[in-house]
Structure 1
Amino acid sequence: MTARYKLLIAFSLVCIAFTAPAQQSMMASVDYNLLQRMIDTAKVRYPRMKKYEHKIREAKLGVTKAKWGWFDGLTFSYTYNASVSNAPVSQNQSLTGYSPGVFLNFGALLSRPATIKMAREEKKVAEEDKAEFTLNIEQTVKDRYFAYVEKLAILNLRSKSASDADISQTQIKYKYELGIETFDNYSKVLVLYSVSSQNKIEAEAAVLRAKASLEEILGAKLEEFN
């Protein structure tokens, strides 16, 4: 094992020793009250939830329409009675020559119960689809919230590591300028500082992506929950 890798391992252990007491677990950062507020918000604001609500209302209207369809089997009409119109005037004083009639379409009447049942089944399907999606959206919010908290915890660790690396490179730079530290050791610490800084930037980007993903399902900015 080269001296460079020994230094890298030693520096990593030092960073862990400093960061572990500050952030041993992400569990303490999980706010279940906040999580429930997020779930409730997603159920109201997420566009696809509104889509399922529209489908339920549409299905309810379909049931109402199917019930009123009983009248589709009834036809009201007037028939012209030629013999009445040609009758003597004395007999036409109370008759107009037209008589109303009601016609029944037995096929439409017999099929109406099945049509109503089908409309009710479509309503049940719409309601079950919404219930299923509600469960899915609850799980999705939880997954994205936990991912966001995880990325924040990682960022905290890497920020502390980057801060420690910055302190180390400042100290070794001072020693190097005084001539009590070698350039080889100084350059190795600079490499470690560069790596720590890069890791911090990557962690920041991961937090931003997790935040955007969570806000997408919520239909709201996280700042609204402060």
Structure 2
Amino acid sequence: MTIKRLFILLLLLAANVQIHAQEDIASQINPPLLQKYVDLAKEYYPKRKMYKASELSAKAKIGTAKAGYLESLNASYFYRPSNGTILDVNNPYSINGFQFGVNLNLGLFFRTPSLVKQAREEYNSASYLTKEYDILLEIDVKERYFEYLQWFNDLKVKNQAYIDNKAASDGLRYKFEKGEVSLDVYTKAKSLTSTASSEKLLAEVNMLKAKSSLEALLGKKMEEVK
């Protein structure tokens, strides 16, 4: 076997595995599982919790602003025993029984609607920020999931390429030992196998990085999500 034929054979094997992996990657997307990843990220990720807390805080301010209507009113009452005299220095009441009074703070009363409106707008703003971040977070989860699938399939390609190269190299070693191929051909095959091994390790590292990046959003291992 010549060096040229060896290279062509190994390249065809690698290309065939690569094309097969590219055709299969779309079919590996699991929509229900991906939605679980998105839901977990929205439930766990600290920055999303920060936006949600701001939204709830703004919502609570609406109730506080509405309380201004009650604060603008001041009710009071007085009580004079029925057996008291109408004019008495020590008990100067003119009417027996209860006396009620209501005071209205007009400034606060007329200012309260604008305060309620302001609180509502702040809540709406916080709510929109939460919704915007939910969209961005969902995109981030999907991108990291797709990147994980990409590197997962790349690892399968590189692993298969290494297996094929090693099988070819082992076969050439046997032929080299029998004197059927030259040392140069055998050396080239070993070099290709070494390169394939390095590429497989690099693909594994990239896959693990992508996996770790996705799990950072989920707050748990991917294996724990069913």
Other structure's SS at 1:111 match? helix
Structure 1 residues 111 and 19 mapped into 2: Cα distance closer, same or farther (>3 Å)?
closer
Corresponding residue for residue 161 of structure 2? 161
Does structure 2 retain, via aligned residues, the 8 Å contact 1:74–1:104?
yes
Does structure 2 retain, via aligned residues, the 8 Å contact 1:23–1:157?
no
Other structure's SS at 1:91 match? coil
Corresponding residue for residue 176 of structure 1? 176
Output aligned runs, 1:212-223, within 5 Å: 212-223=212-223
Structure 1 residues 167 and 62 mapped into 2: Cα distance closer, same or farther (>3 Å)?
same
Output aligned runs, 1:131-142, within 5 Å: 131-142=131-142
Q: CA deviation at 1:48?
A: 2.1
Corresponding residue for residue 36 of structure 2? 37
Corresponding residue for residue 150 of structure 2? 150
Q: TM-score normalized by structure 1?
A: 0.81
Matching residue's letter, 2:69: W
Corresponding residue for residue 190 of structure 1? 190
Whole-Å Cα distance in 1 between the matches of residues 21 and 123 of structure 2? 54
Gap runs ≥5 in structure 1? 78-89
Corresponding residue for residue 208 of structure 2? 208
Q: CA deviation at 1:207?
A: 0.4
Matching residue's letter, 2:89: N
Q: CA deviation at 1:43?
A: 1.7
Structure 1 residues 26 and 18 mapped into 2: Cα distance closer, same or farther (>3 Å)?
closer
Q: CA deviation at 1:38?
A: 1.2
Structure 1 residues 131 and 72 mapped into 2: Cα distance closer, same or farther (>3 Å)?
same
Q: CA deviation at 1:7?
A: 4.3
Output aligned runs, 1:87-98, within 5 Å: 91-95=88-92
Matching residue's letter, 2:35: Q
Q: TM-score normalized by structure 2?
A: 0.81
Q: CA RMSD in A?
A: 2.8
Whole-Å Cα distance in 2 between the matches of residues 74 and 21 of structure 1? 77
Corresponding residue for residue 116 of structure 1? 116
Matching residue's letter, 2:190: L
Other structure's SS at 2:54 match? helix
Q: CA deviation at 1:215?
A: 0.8
Deviation digits for residues 86-141 of structure 1 (CA, Å, limit 9, x no counterpart): xxxx7323239xxx987654333322211111001111111111111112222211
Gap runs ≥5 in structure 2? 77-86, 94-99
Q: CA deviation at 1:10?
A: 3.7
Structure 1 residues 214 and 5 mapped into 2: Cα distance closer, same or farther (>3 Å)?
farther
Deviation digits for residues 2-60 of structure 1 (CA, Å, limit 9, x no counterpart): x8677434421133346655774311211112111111212211222222221122112
Structure 1 residues 30 and 18 mapped into 2: Cα distance closer, same or farther (>3 Å)?
closer
- Give the % identical residues: 33
Matching residue's letter, 2:113: P
Deviation digits for residues 138-188 of structure 1 (CA, Å, limit 9, x no counterpart): 221111111111111111111100000111111111111222211100110
Matching residue's letter, 1:91: D
Matching residue's letter, 2:213: S
Structure 1 residues 71 and 164 mapped into 2: Cα distance closer, same or farther (>3 Å)?
same
Matching residue's letter, 2:203: A
Structure 1 residues 35 and 18 mapped into 2: Cα distance closer, same or farther (>3 Å)?
closer
Structure 1 residues 21 and 124 mapped into 2: Cα distance closer, same or farther (>3 Å)?
closer
Whole-Å Cα distance in 2 between the matches of residues 131 and 21 of structure 1? 39
Corresponding residue for residue 86 of structure 1? none
